């Protein structure tokens, strides 16, 4: 049996869970509303402020879906009650970030600025102070969406291995390479 799938999901106060006949799980909380279509072979029930996920047989497909859907539902419950937050840092001379509503403008050392439209489900905040790196803060109840947006922003200028310049996550440790001068001595 799936170790992840058999653990019940605790639902905190203030979160409403609804399971429809079509096996759609709706979760509402103070940070938003999310829904997920669950495979017809996976059974989801809500009782006593807990969500239970079970399967009808032990086929390979159902074994893999059991833990997957339990994790997705858990991420939805945590997202609408606490919201997910990702911070990214722009490391490099002249690297700046600015947002006007949901439009993010990045200056990453290219000949032109990069404009990136952020989905409306993700809240964005940029902070630029003198003599420090720009910080981009993303907040959303949807863990998958916020991860995709953060990965897309990082893809515009990944940290390079020699000086570490680029877009990195706050707190991320980069493995830097030794330059060619150190290798010759």
Q: How many domains is the chain built from?
A: 2
Question: Which among 98, 106, 148 has a CA at the least distance from the CA of 125?
Answer: 98
Lookup: tokens for 24: 């759609």
Q: Is residue 128 part of a domain?
A: yes
Contacts of 161 (CB under 8 A, 6+ apart): 174, 175, 176, 177
CA distance 61 to 70: 14
Q: What's the mean pLDDT when you consider all of the chain?
A: 92
pLDDT at residue 18 greater than cutoff 90: yes
> What is the pLDDT at residue 2?
57
- Both 93 and 114 in one domain: the answer is yes
Average pLDDT over residues 52-57: 91
Q: What is the DSSP string of 78-90?
A: HHHHH-EEEEEEE
CATH number at residue 23: 3.90.930.12
- Both 115 and 163 in one domain: the answer is yes
Q: Residue 184 — very low, low, confident or very high, per pLDDT cuts 50/70/90? A: low
Task: List pLDDT tens digits, range 58-109.
Answer: 889 888 899 999 999 999 999 999 999 999 999 999 999 999 999 999 999 9
Q: What is the value of pTM for the model shown?
A: 0.88
């Amino acid at each position: 049996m799936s170790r992840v799938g058999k653990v019940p999901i605790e639902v905190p106060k203030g979160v409403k869970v609804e399971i429809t006949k079509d096996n759609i799980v709706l979760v509402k909380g103070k940070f938003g509303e999310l829904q997920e279509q669950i495979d017809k072979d996976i059974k989801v029930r809500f009782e006593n402020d807990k969500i239970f996920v079970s399967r009808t047989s032990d086929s390979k497909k159902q074994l893999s879906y059991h833990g997957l859907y339990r994790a997705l539902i858990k991420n939805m419950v945590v997202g609408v009650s606490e919201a997910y937050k990702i911070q990214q840092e722009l490391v490099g001379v002249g690297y700046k970030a600015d947002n006007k509503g949901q439009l993010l403008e990045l200056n990453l050392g290219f000949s032109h600025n990069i404009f990136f439209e952020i989905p409306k489900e993700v809240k964005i905040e940029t902070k630029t102070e003198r003599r420090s790196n720009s910080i981009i803060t993303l907040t959303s109840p949807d863990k998958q969406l916020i991860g995709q947006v953060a990965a897309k922003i990082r893809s515009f200028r990944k940290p390079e291995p020699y000086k570490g310049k680029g877009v990195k996550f706050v707190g991320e440790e980069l493995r830097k390479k030794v330059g060619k001068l150190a290798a010759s001595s």
